[in-house]
Amino acid sequence: MNASMTDQTDVSAADARQLLIDLVSTPSPSDAETDAAEVLVEFFESYGREAWLDEVGNVRAPADDSVLLTSHVDTVPGEIPVEVEPADENDLEQDVADELGEDVLWGRGSVDATGPLAAMAAAAVRTGVSFVGVVGEETSSRGARHLVDERSEPDAVVNGEPSGTTGITLGYRGFLAGTYVATSESGHTSRPEPNAIQHATNWWNGVEAAFENDEYTAVFERVTAKPVDIDGGISEDGLSVEATLDVQLRIPPSLDAESVRETAEAGLEIGTVSWAEPIPPVMESPRTEVARAFRVAIRNEVGDPRLLRKTGTSDMNLYAGEWDCPMVTYGPGNSDLDHAPDERLSLAEFDRSVAVLEGVSTTLRGGEE
Confidence class for position 259, pLDDT limits 50, 70, 90 = very high
Do 164 and 262 lie in one domain? The reply is no
Residues 95 and 127 both lie in one domain: yes
How confident is the model over 19-49, as pLDDT tens digits? 999 999 999 999 999 999 999 999 999 999 9
Q: State yes or no: pLDDT of 99 exceeds 90.
A: no
Q: What is the pLDDT of residue 214?
A: 84
| Residue 153 in domain | yes
CATH number reported for the structural domain that contains residue 214 in this entry:
3.30.70.360
The last residue of one of the domains, among 248, 275, 302, is 275
167 and 84 within one domain: yes
Could you tell me the residue range of the domain that residue 263 belongs to? 174-275
pLDDT confidence of residue 88: 61
Asked if residue 288 and residue 263 are part of one domain, the reply reads: no
- For residues 209 and 114, membership in a common domain is answered with no
Domain count, the chain: 2
Instruction: List binding-site positions for Zn(2+).
Output: 72, 112, 138, 161, 339
> Could you say which of 227, 257, 275 is where a domain stops?
275
Indicate if the pLDDT at residue 188 is higher than 90. no
Mean residue pLDDT of the chain comes to: 92
What sign does the dihedral 59-18-104-27 (CA atoms) show?
Answer: negative
Domain boundary among 211, 245, 275: 275
Q: In this structure, are 163 and 179 located in the same domain?
A: no
Q: Which of 81-95, 121-135, 173-187, 303-317 is predicted least confidently?
A: 81-95
Q: What percent of the chain has pLDDT over 90?
A: 86
Q: Looking at the domain assignment, is residue 118 inside a domain? A: yes
Share of the chain above pLDDT 70, in %: 93
- Average pLDDT on 169-178 reads 97
User: Do both 56 and 142 map to the same domain?
Assistant: yes
Residues 23 and 91 in one domain: yes
Task: Point out the annotated binding site.
Answer: 72, 112, 138, 161, 339
Exactly one of 137, 242, 301, 358 is catalytic; which is it? Answer: 137
Residue 182 in any domain: the answer is yes
pLDDT score of 9: 83
- Is it the case that residue 213 has pLDDT exceeding 70? yes
Predicted TM-score (pTM) of the model is: 0.89
| Any domain includes 255 | yes
Residue 147 lies in a domain: yes
CATH of the domain at 129: 3.40.630.10
* Domain annotation covers residue 369: no
User: Do 233 and 355 fall into the same domain?
Assistant: no
Q: Is 137 an active-site residue?
A: yes
- pLDDT, tens digit, 9 for 90 and up, residues 329-348: 999 999 999 999 999 999 99
Alpha carbons 63 and 44: distance in angstroms, whole number? 11
Q: Are residues 157 and 289 in the same domain?
A: yes
Catalytic residue among 64, 74, 343, 358: 74
CA–CA gap between residue 167 and residue 100 (Å, rounded): 20
> Do residue 246 and residue 146 come from a single domain?
no
